[in-house]
Amino acid sequence: MSDKKLITKDNKLISASYSLGIPEQRLIFLAIIEAREKKQLIDARGILQIKAKSYQEQFKVEKHTSYDALKSATSGLFDAHFEYEDIHEQTGKLARHVIRWVQKITYIDAAGMVELQFTDAVIPLITRLSEQYTEYELKQVSELQSEYSIRLYELMMQWKAIGQTNKIPVDDLRRKLGVEPEQYKKMNNFKARVLDHAIKQINEYTDIQAEYDQHKNGRAIAGFTFKFKVKKEKKKIAVDSEKRDANTADMFTVDGLNDKQLGRIARNPSFIADYNHLVSSTSPAGQNATEWEFEMTNRLKKDPSQFKKRPIRDYLEY
């Protein structure tokens, strides 16, 4: 893969409604890059190979986490679909399309690899065959730890030229971000657990600084507008992730602990009992052990002050 890894999607796909977990979205990112670099293979409806090593290096996770993520994404992506609307060519009427992402996907555990074949309808939406497309660097979303922050960043990138989205009705925004109907029904929960959390991550990990305005219809919030600007200086990466050894303690660790030790801490049943209130039971980290470990390891690195119930090293013993 090239050094500058670009994600390119037709705006129909950017604006589509779908619900995908972090592993599924990341697998699609890596597959899109493969698709762009092997255009002839895609045109022939060929098979794309995504290796766990690529996942590990791009998203800064441990080896076993990358294997688990690909395995999880294999099942999730096969069952997933997205929806978008446009004008039907023959009738001139509004049409709603429901499309599956892949027609075939295979996980080879011993090889640490996924093979996938996009559906025919997806291929033109990721190979920049349309004039209406959105493009951004993969590194901008590689550290985002919420599926909502990834989707919100994409939606804003569609409006990068003017630095502000149009007004997005609440129901449309929920669908585009992949918030299920039964999730965060109260507006204060939706804002706190979805929008505010996503904006915080986007401002911390990406190349833009974002905020939102809410629009009311009477006393009820009817929609949101997102404003953003490109940061003047890109955040410097203190350690090259591709060169950093997970066994070597460095500035990213807590109290001299390395990544493997932090992962072990996050898996400790006592740690889980002490801090499971930090994530929603309906979030990926609340439903999947791999996502929990990834989320907690990153939180331990970013803000260890959240974890004060007992000395962190105590969780190593179990």
Tell me: the pLDDT tens digits for 11-40? Answer: 999 999 999 999 999 999 999 998 877 765
pLDDT for res 7: 93
pLDDT for res 248: 43
The whole-number average pLDDT for the span 111-127 is: 91
The whole-number average pLDDT for the span 49-78 is: 94
Tell me: the pLDDT tens digits for 294-318? Answer: 888 888 888 887 888 888 888 887 6
The whole-number average pLDDT for the span 98-121 is: 95
* In the chain, domain spans: 1-142, 145-235, 259-316
Do 1-142 and 145-235 share a fold?
A: yes
pLDDT for res 201: 95
Q: Which of 288, 299, 241 is nearest to 265 (CA)?
A: 299
Q: Does 290 score more than 90 pLDDT?
A: no
CA distance 55 to 26: 8
Give the tokens for residue 256: 């001299």
pLDDT for res 314: 84
CA distance 246 to 49: 25
With bands split at pLDDT 50, 70 and 90, how would you rate the model's confidence at 206?
very high
Tell me: the pLDDT tens digits for 226-284? Answer: 999 999 864 444 444 444 444 444 433 476 788 888 888 988 888 888 888 888 777 77
With bands split at pLDDT 50, 70 and 90, how would you rate the model's confidence at 1?
very low
Percentages of the chain per state (helix, strand, coil), in multiples of 5: 45, 20, 35
pLDDT for res 312: 86
Class of the CATH-defined domain 145-235: mainly alpha
The domain 1-142 having CATH identifier 1.10.10.10: the answer here is yes
Q: pTM of the entire structure?
A: 0.72
